[in-house]
């Protein structure tokens, strides 16, 4: 495993954890829970973007420098 593989796995794990935390907050009552859920879902979208960028860079790296 190279560094990109590890970074991609960490990013995907972070997305999954953030999604789970956001969904958990979604089912709680109150304005604080709603606000926290919204923030977590925005964080999830940002983490997904990072994961996709890392995936693209990793695939490019493997195609140009060999697998």
User: What pLDDT digit, counting tens, does each position of 33-62 carry?
Assistant: 888 988 999 999 999 999 999 999 988 988
Residue 52 domain-assigned (yes or no): yes
Domain count, the chain: 1
Asked if residue 65 is part of any domain, the answer here is no
- Examine residue 45 and state whether it is found in any structural domain, yes or no: yes
Closest to 7 (Cα-Cα) out of 48, 58, 44: 58
* Helices and strands (H, E) in the chain, number of each type: 2, 0
**pTM summary value:** 0.83
Q: Is 66 contained in some domain? A: no
Establish if 56 belongs to a structural domain.
yes
Can you give the pLDDT at residue 1?
76
Residue 36 lies in a domain: yes
- What is the extent of the structural domain holding 31? 3-60
pLDDT value at residue 67: 62
């Amino acid at each position: 495993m190279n560094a990109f593989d590890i970074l991609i796995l960490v990013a995907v794990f972070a997305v999954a954890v953030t999604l789970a935390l956001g969904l958990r907050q979604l089912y709680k009552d109150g304005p604080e829970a709603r606000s926290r859920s919204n923030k977590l879902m925005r964080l999830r979208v940002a983490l997904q973007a990072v994961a996709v960028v890392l995936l693209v860079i990793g695939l490019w790296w493997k195609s140009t420098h060999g697998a």
